[in-house]
Amino acid sequence: MHERFAGLRMNMTHYYSILAAFTVSVVLLYIATRTTPQQPMVLDLQVRSGLKSNAQVVTTKKPSVGSSVVTDDAEAAHPIPMDDKLQVMTNKQLATLYNDFLTNIQVLCRDKIRMGNIQAGGWDVCLDGHYKPKKDNCIVYSFGIDNDFSFDDDVASTFGCEVHAFDPSMKQQDHLRGRRVHFHNLGLSDRDGKGKMQWPMKTMLSIRQDLKHADGVIDYMKIDIEDSEWESLRHAFNTNGLEGVKQLSLEFHVFGKEERSRYIARLNVLRDLYNLGYRIFWTTNNVVYPACRFTSVYDGRERTRCHEVYFLKWVV
């Protein structure tokens, strides 16, 4: 009997030792999670793209515009090859690649907010880490208003940003809307002067120089200018017009007849934008407007001509 109780005491002692060690481990883990700084903002698509789960803004050497695709921690699920490879792809392959690239995210924003209208007119803003606009110390450019200031007003009142809204189609003179929204009767283009509609137009670089923002940070830039974004972006690439832009949101359009040459030209722009370090954190198909919906003659799928795509400046 004595030996039996002695064995029981030994077992209980061993059990309590294990319990004590487990308790200490739990306490230490809790302390570590409470004191270790959170990883900044963006998580990658580890499963889909093989990216690191604790990635942050990557600093790496980027190729110049028009060169091979940059390789980094946020690799695209559907990389766009160089122009010579695009030229030998089939029409179906080009159409599929264009849509696949624009409808897949490359990095994750853990905290985003819809600013402005819930549907057309509103835009999403990433609030992770340093991407979050600093209260009363942020600059926003908004190209393409169409008489809907809901986004501009919201971002100005929520964050206190200095907002510059541009739209030459509204036939309004330059004016200050409230305290922080500056309206400009001006459009974005690849050249300075009068556009096709005889509207006043300027390049991204010229606009930033005029507003004394050429060398500063633009916290958020929204571009929705009905198919004119492609030429404007090409010019911005060649003149550092996007320098310092932390978040870039665009509605990409493919209006008119599907053409092989247009897909190739647009894919080259998207690859150059990727090479500048911009990664998609959110994307939606705009199907609100009937004009945006069509059936592709290349792959037979119902598609949208209007992709709303949200980028973070991921590689710096």
| pLDDT tens, residue by residue, 287-298 | 777 888 999 999
Specify the pLDDT at position 286: 81
**Which residue would you say has higher pLDDT here, 131 or 57?**
131
Question: Using one digit for the tens of pLDDT, what is the confidence trace for 178-223?
Answer: 999 999 999 999 999 998 889 999 999 999 999 999 999 999 999 9
Specify the pLDDT at position 87: 97
The pLDDT > 70 percentage for the chain reads 76
Specify the pLDDT at position 56: 42
Map residue 112 onto helix, strand or coil. Answer: strand
Specify the pLDDT at position 291: 83
- Alpha helices by DSSP H, 74-149: 83-86, 91-102
The secondary structure of 130-188, three-state, reads: HHCCCCCCCEEEEECCCCCCHHHHHHHHHHCCEEEEECHHHCCCCEEECCCEEEECCEE
Is the entire prediction scored with pTM above 0.85? no
Q: 312 with 278: CB under 8 angstroms?
A: yes
Residues 24-30: contacts with CB within 8 Å, 24+ apart? none
Question: Using one digit for the tens of pLDDT, what is the confidence trace for 29-51?
Answer: 544 444 333 333 333 333 333 33
Please calculate the CA angle 45-50-55 and round it to the nearest 5 degrees. Answer: 60
91 pLDDT higher than 90: yes
By DSSP bridging, strand 278-285 and strand 247-253 are unpaired
98 pLDDT higher than 90: yes
Question: Rounded to whole angstroms, how far apart are CA atoms 141 and 66?
Answer: 26
Q: What average pLDDT does this structure show over 147-158?
A: 97
